[in-house]
Amino acid sequence: MKKVLMSVIMLFAFVFQASADFSGGISTGSDEDKFRPSMGRTVLGTVTSIDEKKGDINVMDEAKHYEITVHLKAEDRSKVKVGDRVKILTQPNTNVARTILPQKPLDQ
């Protein structure tokens, strides 16, 4: 009986470990850095350059420390200039800005 019970416990431990490895680990739901396709992504950073022809801006992401290119809608292009600190919410599964929110500079 002890061998059967121990075998069942070992089997459950193996299955639990295998399922955690397959899913990429156990998620607590608190990781804000995960990309959620249904919600789009959030970029907080400083505008480093603007391409007027394409309607794209490059933003230096404060959290990830690299530039991200975001496409702006025509009505949003006048809201930003180089050096502005902005928070951008993108549309799901794209780099098209859904919302641009001006932020206070870090030195204020």
List the beta bridge partners of residue 56. Answer: 51, 71
DSSP helix/strand/coil, 72: coil
Q: How many C-beta atoms surround the C-beta of residue 100 within 10 A? A: 21
**Full-model pTM:** 0.61
Q: What's the pLDDT score for residue 38? A: 66
CA nearest neighbour of 90 among 48, 50, 45, 49: 45
Vertex 24: Cα angle to 34 and 22 (nearest 5): 145
Number of helices and strands in the chain (H, E): 1, 5
CATH superfamily of 42-102: Copper binding periplasmic protein CusF (2.40.50.320)
Residue extents of the structural domains in the chain: 42-102
Q: What is the mean pLDDT of each run of 10 residues along the chain (108 residues)?
A: 85 73 50 58 93 93 92 90 94 91 83
